[in-house]
Each structure stands twice: as C-alpha cells, then as structure tokens.
Amino acid sequence: MAESSVADAARTTRNVLAHVHEALEPDFAFELSDGTLIPENASPAGLRLFVSDVALPRLLRSPGLKTVIELYADGEIDPRGGTLFEFADRRPAVKGKTLLKRLNKRLLLGGAWKLFFSPRSGTGSAGEQSTDSGARSGSAKADIAFHYDVSNDFYRLFLDPQMLYTCAYFKDWETDLATAQTDKLDMICRKLRLKPGDRLLDIGCGWGGLICHAAEHYGVTAIGVTLAEEQAKLARERISERGLEDKVTVELKDYRDLDGQFDKISSIGMFEHVGLDNHDDYYRHVRRLLKPRGIYLHHAITRRGKKDIRKFRRKRPEYQTLVRYIFPGGEVDHIGWTLTNLEANGFEVHDTEAWREHYARTTKLWAENLMAAKDAAIAEVGERKYRLWVAYLCGVSMGFQRGTIGIFQTVATRRTKGASGMPPTRADLYRD
C-alpha cells in the first residue's frame, strides 16, 4: 500500500509539474528525483530546477516563501546547470490573469488533494525542525552574534582582502571588488572632510577597515565599536599588524555606553540593526557624541516609502524571510523617514546620495565568490547554512537591481546657528 501511494504521489507530481511548465513557459526545465525531465526533450545538461518527491507535499501543507526557502536550504528544490542569477534572468514572463486562464484548476486541485495526503517522507528534515532558527532574540548583542560570529574564515571566502561587509563604490561597473571597496573608504573619508587631528568614531566598525584607512591616509585618531567578538578580535590583530595602536582602537561596546565627543562620526551598515522603534534614541546618542557642527555620515539600507506608515511597517514575505534567517532583529526605514528623523533630532542634512546599483553589484560579486568557494564554505558552516547564504546574497542583489530595496549615504552636521562649516561646493568629493 505504501509503495503504491508513493508511486501515485510521484505520478501526480509529474503531471502537476508538466502542466505548470506548459502554462508558465519557463526558459528552463524541471527535473524529478528519478531523473525525469519536464519537458521530455530538455537537455540533461541545460538549466533545470530539481524538485524532489517531498517538495510539493511540503509546500502544500505549509505554503509560503518560508517553506520555499527551507526546501532550497534542504536541497529539496535545487537550481542546476546555472546559478540563481541565471534562473532569475530566465524567469517566466507569464503572470497574473494570463497564468490563471491557462491553468487547469481541476487538475491542480485534484493533484493538490492527493499530494497533501501523500506519504510524508522527508517531513523530519532539518527545514521543518528549524522553524525558529532565525527568530529575533530580543538582544542586540545576540542578534549581532548570530550574523557576524559565523566565523571570520567564512567571510574571507567571499569578501575583499580588507573584509569590508558593506556596499562598495564603483567608479566603473567593471572595477574589481577590492578596488571598489578601497574607493568606498576614500569616498567616506572625503564626505566626512577628515583632516589630521580629527577624532573619528565608527559605530559598527566591522573588522576595522574604515578606521585603519582613515588613520593611515587622513591622519585621524579613530575609535571603532562593535558588538561582535569575532570582529573585534580580528580588527585588533589588523591594527597591530599595521602599527596603528597609537591611533586606532576597537572596543567591544554598545555605542550608547560611550562617553566624550568626536569631530566626526560614521555609521556604515550598522543602522539596520537598531530597530524602527529605537531610531530617535539612536540619533539622540549620536548627537550627544558629536561636537557642534561635527559631521555625521549615515550609510544605511532602505525600503521604498509608502504614503501610510502603517502600510510601510507591514513586512512582505521576502522581508520576513530575510530577518528570520540572516538578519535577526534587522529593520530598515525609508529615506524620507531617515531625513525627517535626522532633522527632528538636531541635525542639518547636507547631502544624500543613492548607492542602490552599487550594492546590487557588490552583493552579486559576493554571491559569485561564495558559490566559487562552495566546498570550503560547506566545510566551514555546513551545507544548509551555505545554501541559505547563497539564497540571501543572490536575493538581496536582485532586490537592489530591481529597486525593491535601496541604500543611501546621508551627510549631516550637528545643527547650530550660523555657518555650517561645509564647503560651498562638492567638487572635492570627486577629485581624481
């Protein structure tokens, strides 16, 4: 009986996928567990999406993007013959009402009924047992550790030699990643108008790339803070290797616990961890730490704004998946909200620059680097986490490319009466 049920489920899966393929007309094939290709004349070496025997039953029992991600992480669905980027480029053009007209609802409903009650082989996989693996912890330090304490060796597999895990700056789209990251550091220093003797604070300093660059090339004294122990350890080693102990320090500390004041403050890719309800508190602390007319550079990912803030706060499935599996505790605002909050908390905004396409390119290069280092990555973190990271980097790159998410660099000063102290033009930012 069980063997008959399994065979019936496989036959139903084949019929459903054949019909879906015919309706969608995708530029790739489906591949089943027994090697069957849909359509039958598809090339076994071509672009194809593997769908296991348990994939459709699991998706029917728990429909949604979360299940799709778990199926991918478990290898129950798998792009073969090409990367996720290539599948995205060849995604079906048929959508909406046209697709609904083409689908045979009786066939699909009948198939769904059979598959829903099919043998639950594979039900106990890692995906269905790990539904809380990325849930928000409620602790800022734990949230940071979940993401950044994977291991320094893992990040080395796909980042540039300086291990800069934020958006690069491409003077030309063909520029290599390492050069683009160095150009990013230099652009940040220029926007901050750094000069010898300045005291710089970098909130969320990562592995210390910016503070070391600023000290070496602009003569500043720099302090970086992070909540990630692995980052702090390696940053200190790099500071020592470069002989910068007298100019650069890294503290494993929350920015809210800092004292004193700084001439310049940078926040590069850290703000996403603050949380929407904590923004005012964040800006108040930055203002407290910044000298009057000191410059603050705010570099953060955003989402598209909406007319209604309640609608903006509703998280789409792909956004929920991102914060569940990769960025627990992560939330982003929109650029209008950023500027409003800066002004409302005592800052004067001078410049805002969109870097969306720069991050699309950066994350694409990261994803390609990680996929090229597949064996080493799996040895370091396991296959499931490797696959989650590939899906994350590819998905984020596509999001930036399509404009569903953005990123901005905003330059502001701590407001006082009178002259801002900023130059009359921005020509100095773009000198060769």
Looking at the fold, whether 289 and 316 belong to one and the same domain comes out as yes
On whether the CB atoms of residues 50 and 78 are closer than 8 A, the answer is yes
The angle formed by the CA atoms of residues 322, 374 and 401, to the nearest 5 degrees, is 45
Of the three residues 129, 164, 188, the one that is the final residue of a domain is 129
Is residue 371 in some structural domain?
yes
Looking at the fold, whether 18 and 61 belong to one and the same domain comes out as yes
Q: Is the pLDDT of residue 1 over 50?
A: no
Task: Classify residue 132 by burial, with Cβ atoms within 10 Å: 0-12, 13-18, 19+.
Answer: exposed
On whether the CB atoms of residues 192 and 293 are closer than 8 A, the answer is no
Is residue 342 in some structural domain?
yes
Three-state secondary structure call for residue 396: helix
Looking at the fold, whether 122 and 38 belong to one and the same domain comes out as yes
Instruction: Tell me 272's DSSP state.
Output: G
Looking at the fold, whether 115 and 189 belong to one and the same domain comes out as no
Is residue 405 in some structural domain?
yes
Is residue 135 in some structural domain?
no
Q: What is the model's pLDDT at position 129?
A: 39
d(CA 382, CA 154): 11
Residue 205: give its domain's CATH number.
Answer: 3.40.50.150
- The tens digit of pLDDT for each residue in 175-224 reads 999 999 999 999 999 999 999 999 999 999 999 999 999 999 999 999 99
d(CA 240, CA 401): 39
Q: Rounded to the nearest 10 degrees, how much is the dihedral formed by the CA atoms of 132, 136, 138, 144?
A: 120
Looking at the fold, whether 166 and 295 belong to one and the same domain comes out as yes
Task: Classify residue 202 by burial, with Cβ atoms within 10 Å: 0-12, 13-18, 19+.
Answer: buried
Is residue 382 in some structural domain?
yes
Q: What is the model's pLDDT at position 2?
A: 52
CB half-sphere exposure, 320, CA atoms < 13 A: 11
Span 325-332, average pLDDT: 67
C-alpha dist (Å) from residue 417 to 285, 351, 396, 413: 21, 19, 41, 12
Buried b (16+ CB within 10 A) or exposed e, 42-54: beeeebbbbbbbb
- The tens digit of pLDDT for each residue in 122-154 reads 444 443 434 344 444 445 555 444 455 578 899
Looking at the fold, whether 233 and 161 belong to one and the same domain comes out as yes
Phi, psi at residue 182, to the nearest 5°? -65, -40
Average pLDDT value over all residues in the chain: 87
Per mean pLDDT, which range of 109-123, 137-151, 312-326, 388-402 is the poorest? 137-151
Span 88-99, average pLDDT: 78
- The tens digit of pLDDT for each residue in 16-43 reads 888 888 888 889 999 999 999 999 999 9
Model confidence at 324, in pLDDT bands (50, 70, 90)?
A: low
Per mean pLDDT, which range of 49-58, 259-268, 408-417 is the poorest? 49-58
First-to-last alpha carbon distance for the chain, in angstroms, is 75
Concatenate the DSSP letters of all residues of 100-141 into one string.
HHHS-HHHHHHHHHHHHTS--TTTTSHHHH-TTTT---S-HH
For residue 396, what are the domain limits?
140-430
Is residue 35 in some structural domain?
yes
d(CA 315, CA 53): 31
Model confidence at 117, in pLDDT bands (50, 70, 90)?
A: low
**Residues facing residue 290 across a β-bridge:** 262
Looking at the fold, whether 98 and 148 belong to one and the same domain comes out as no
What tokens appear for 3 in the block?
A: 């063997």
Q: Is the pLDDT of residue 53 over 90?
A: no
Instruction: Count structural domains, the chain.
Output: 2
Span 2-11, average pLDDT: 66
DSSP H helices, 327-412, are: 335-344, 356-372, 374-381, 383-402
Of the three residues 94, 129, 164, the one that is the final residue of a domain is 129
- The tens digit of pLDDT for each residue in 260-306 reads 999 999 999 999 989 899 999 999 999 999 999 999 999 999 998 98
d(CA 303, CA 301): 7
d(CA 340, CA 417): 19
On whether the CB atoms of residues 392 and 322 are closer than 8 A, the answer is yes
- Comparing 262 with 430, which gets the higher pLDDT? 262
Looking at the fold, whether 390 and 410 belong to one and the same domain comes out as yes
User: Which residues, 6+ apart, have CB-to-CB distance to 110 below 8 Å?
Assistant: none
β-pair type (29-32, 37-38): antiparallel
Of the three residues 129, 159, 174, the one that is the final residue of a domain is 129
- Comparing 255 with 133, which gets the higher pLDDT? 255
d(CA 371, CA 268): 26
Element at 298 (helix H, strand E): strand 290-303
Q: Is the pLDDT of residue 114 over 90?
A: no
pTM of the model: 0.87
Q: What is the model's pLDDT at position 127?
A: 39
Instruction: Tell me 327's DSSP state.
Output: -
Q: Which sign, positive or negative, has the C-alpha torsion 162, 166, 169, 170?
A: positive
Looking at the fold, whether 163 and 190 belong to one and the same domain comes out as yes
d(CA 14, CA 312): 40
Length of the chain measured in residues: 432
Is residue 134 in some structural domain?
no
Q: What is the model's pLDDT at position 409?
A: 98
Looking at the fold, whether 61 and 159 belong to one and the same domain comes out as no
d(CA 146, CA 227): 11
Model confidence at 319, in pLDDT bands (50, 70, 90)?
A: low
Looking at the fold, whether 155 and 302 belong to one and the same domain comes out as yes
**Residues facing residue 252 across a β-bridge:** 226
Is residue 276 in some structural domain?
yes
d(CA 78, CA 9): 20
Looking at the fold, whether 118 and 242 belong to one and the same domain comes out as no
Percent of the chain residues topping a pLDDT of 90: 61
Span 355-374, average pLDDT: 97
